[in-house]
Amino acid sequence: MSIQVFGLPVSRGVAIGRAVLVASSRVDVAHYFVAAERVDHEIDRLRQARDAVAAELTTLQRDLPAEAPAELSALLDVHLMLLHDEALTGATKTWIRERHYNAEWALSAQLEVMARQFDEMEDDYLRERKADIEQVVERLLRLLATDDPAAGIAGMAGARDFAGEDPLVLVANDVAPADMIQFKRSVFTGFVTDVGGRNSHTAIVARSMDIPAVVGAREASRLIRQDDWLVIDGDAGVVIVNPSRIVLEEYRFRQRQSELERARLDRLRHTPAVTLDGEAVELLANIELPGDAPAAVAAGAVGVGLFRSEFLFMNRDGELPDEEEQFEAYRAAVLAMQGLPVTIRTVDVGADKPLDRMSPQELRHEHALNPALGLRAIRWSLSEPGMFRQQLRAILRASAFGKVRILLPMVAHLSEIRQTLDALARARQQLDDAGRAYGRVEVGAMIEIPAAALMIDRFLEHFDFVSLGTNDLIQYTLAIDRADESVSHLYDPWHPAVLQLVAHTIARARAHGRGVSVCGEMAGDPAFTELLLALGLRSFSMHPARIASIKQRVLRADTRRLADHAAAVLAADDAALAARRLLSAPTH
């Protein structure tokens, strides 16, 4: 039967594929794909584990003390029987052979299937056998865990050589940003998660992969079963489970349409972004890793406006990258950008981006106390001065190879500016002492805390440029956790208070003759392009995949006409509606 699950649309487009379910309770089970030539080996691992568990159970049974209740021996018989039951081992082998799942993943997938069948049984006695099958699988998993180093859902990233035929979509309770980053270039053609907000970092990374995604779909991982066919409608935020043939046809048609649209927009790649009235607009890329830089160039970005350097610090089991490793990474990004500027943001860990990969439960526990208001971003860097200087030196050194700018996240206090500039001066001094080369580097601040926007004039005395981090600016202005789906309906980029802070920051930066850009998700949202142009913005930084559609809007815009309406939009009760009415480009 076809059902629909509703969530938040976070990444556009339509994905159609089979569900790969990662239940939250099973995140400790290793999940990865095995290459075609390793399938037999993997089935062998399963067979060996089964034989070992069978031997274990037989020994247990043999050594039962004479006074042990007869039920115990009978129970071991049941476990032995289950262990050899085709419904378990036969079907598990099929997951390995047909889907290329590793043995642990295949086992937990099959457990999931069987557990649901048991749940649906009328007979109490049979329903209770579910616990037995769980115990048997647990024994098998424990045995398999001893011979395999890969763990966690991140292991699935090694899926590049997967040769399966059906496209796959990932369904999980939650995916940490650190795991999401591993999925870049993986086999998944879509994502669905139970939790998460529209602008959580997990959603942002999904968007940067340009893969349809729905988050905050609450019951998704409970309602969807392994291998179900899914349609992910990333525009509407709907997941259709086992769609009818007609619905499937309709979505396949939409998929083809958006491919055509993409190809059409692709042709704008090398067209300069200039408005109808001749205003040049800078369209920059947001990247997470140096490996994203070539895609930025290919998409026609004229530089990197935000390199989220914290992603270099994740998935490292507590061992942070040293100066040399960071330098190599920054230099790689600079070289890949072929002379175009690269804006490297100093590490912004904390909140929903912990340093190490944690399960969602651990994450919640670890950060029980208002993580978004805690020790994150520049606060964390200033509390680790040695590490901070190491990062600054690495960035400075990369500037010997191209145009580099430093961007500081979450600055709110003038004392933070002073401390940061001191750290930078010391880093330069240390490089001078060591005889290391570095170039001229501009320094900018993210304006993403209302206090910073309100103090913009004072901030501009110290910085060469500013960049509006609208994702956090919205979160902190409206007191809405950007990663919490239960309040996501209140996370409103059109809120007049947010727009006023954005407008004020742009106006003051321009008045001071300083560069100003927007690097939050607002920059890549076509609904905001005209308004931002009307407010005087001429620099936008976004996921490379968004550049073409924003450029299309820029090419159709007349900034003089738009500017005439800016005040009316800011004063409107419903700014979104006012923007649509007053600013939309006339259709040709």
- Rounded to a whole number of angstroms, the minimum distance from the CB of residue 310 to ligand PEP is 8
3-class DSSP state for residue 83?
Answer: helix
484 binds ligand PEP (CB under 6 A): no
Among 104, 174, 292, 472, indicate the residue that binds ligand PEP (CB under 6 A): 472
- If the CB atoms of residues 527 and 572 are measured against ligand PEP, the closer one turns out to be 527
Q: Alpha-carbon distance 474 to 495, whole Å?
A: 8
Among residues 9, 190, 303, 469, the one that binds Mg ion under rule CB under 5 A: 469
Query: What is each CA distance from 342 to 261, 289, 302, 420, 541, in whole angstroms?
Result: 29, 12, 10, 20, 11
- The span of 160-168, 222-230, 335-343, 468-476 binding ligand PEP (CB under 6 A) equals 468-476
Q: Rounded distance, CA 543 to CA 209, Å?
A: 8
Q: Which residues of 139-165 are buried (b: 16+ CB within 10 A; e: fewer)?
A: bbbebbeeeeeebbbbbbbbbeebeee
| Site map 228..247 versus Mg ion, x via CB under 5 A | --------------------
For residue 362, count other CB atoms closer than 10 A to its CB: 14
Select the residue interacting with ligand PEP from 308, 389, 393, 538 (CB under 6 A).
Answer: 308
Which stretch, 327-335, 353-361, 465-473, 578-586, contacts Mg ion (CB under 5 A)? 465-473
The partner in contact with residue 233, picked from ligand PEP, Mg ion, none with C-beta cut-offs of 5 to 8 angstroms by kind, is none
Contact between 469 and ligand PEP by CB under 6 A: the answer reads yes
Pairing of strands 229-233, 14-22: antiparallel
| For ligand PEP, the closer CB: 140 or 349 | 349
What are the backbone angles phi and psi of residue 180, rounded to the nearest 5°?
Answer: -60, -40
DSSP label of 518: E
Site string for ligand PEP, 331-360 (x = CB under 6 A): -----------------x------------
Tokens matching residue 208:
């940067």
**Site size toward ligand PEP, by CB under 6 A:** 11
Considering beta carbons, is residue 441 or 483 the nearer one to ligand PEP? Answer: 483
- Round to whole Å and give the CA distance between 234 and 493: 19
Looking up tokens 């004479």 gives 66
CA distance 251 to 22: 25
Q: How far is the CB of 470 from ligand PEP (least distance, A)?
A: 5
332 CB neighbour count, 10 Å cutoff: 16
Region from 183-191, 464-472, 483-491, 508-516 binding ligand PEP, contact rule CB under 6 A: 464-472
Backbone angles phi, psi at 282, to 5 degrees: -90, 120
**310 contacts Mg ion (rule: CB under 5 A):** no
Total residues in contact with Mg ion, by rule CB under 5 A: 3
- Residue closer to ligand PEP by CB (options 143, 180) is 180
Distance CA 29, CA 522 (A): 37
Among 520, 524, 536, 544, binds ligand PEP (CB under 6 A): 520
- Kindly state the tokens that stand for 360: 């969602």
Q: Which stretch binds ligand PEP (CB under 6 A): 81-89, 161-169, 226-234, 469-477?
A: 469-477
The strand order across the sheet containing 229-233 reads 3-6, 238-241, 229-233, 14-22, 168-172, 188-193, 213-215, 8-11
Is 305 one of the binding residues for ligand PEP (CB under 6 A)?
A: no
| Interface characters, 124-163, with ligand PEP (x: CB under 6 A) | ----------------------------------------
The verdict on whether 201 is a catalytic residue reads: yes
Binding to Mg ion, residues 472-511 (CB under 5 A): 472
Measured from the CB atom, the residue of 448 and 485 that comes closer to Mg ion is 448
* Residue closest to 150 by CA, chosen among 35, 29, 37: 29
Q: Which of 84, 519, 543, 565 is labelled catalytic?
A: 519
Collect contacts of 218-221 with beta carbons under 8 A, ≥24 apart: 218/5, 218/7, 218/194, 218/485, 219/5, 219/194, 220/5, 220/7, 220/171, 220/192, 220/193, 220/194, 221/21, 221/22, 221/23, 221/24, 221/171, 221/172, 221/173, 221/192, 221/193, 221/194
Q: Give me the residues paired with residue 407 across strands.
A: 345, 444
Identify residues 167-206 at the interface with ligand PEP (CB under 6 A): 204
Q: Which residue in 416, 448, 481, 521 binds Mg ion (CB under 5 A)?
A: 448
Which of 11, 326, 470, 477 is close enough to bind ligand PEP by CB under 6 A? 470
Cβ contacts of residue 354 below 8 Å, gap of 6+?
A: 176, 178, 363, 366, 367
CA–CA gap between residue 7 and residue 356 (Å, rounded)? 27
Please tell me whether residue 50 binds ligand PEP under the rule CB under 6 A.
Answer: no
CB 81 to ligand PEP: min, Å: 53
Smallest distance from ligand PEP to CB 187, Å: 26
Of 31, 79, 100, 201, which residue is the catalytic one? 201
Catalytic positions, please?
A: 201, 519
> In the complex, which residues of this chain contact Mg ion (CB under 5 A)?
448, 469, 472
> In the complex, which residues of this chain contact ligand PEP (CB under 6 A)?
204, 306, 308, 348, 448, 469-472, 519-520
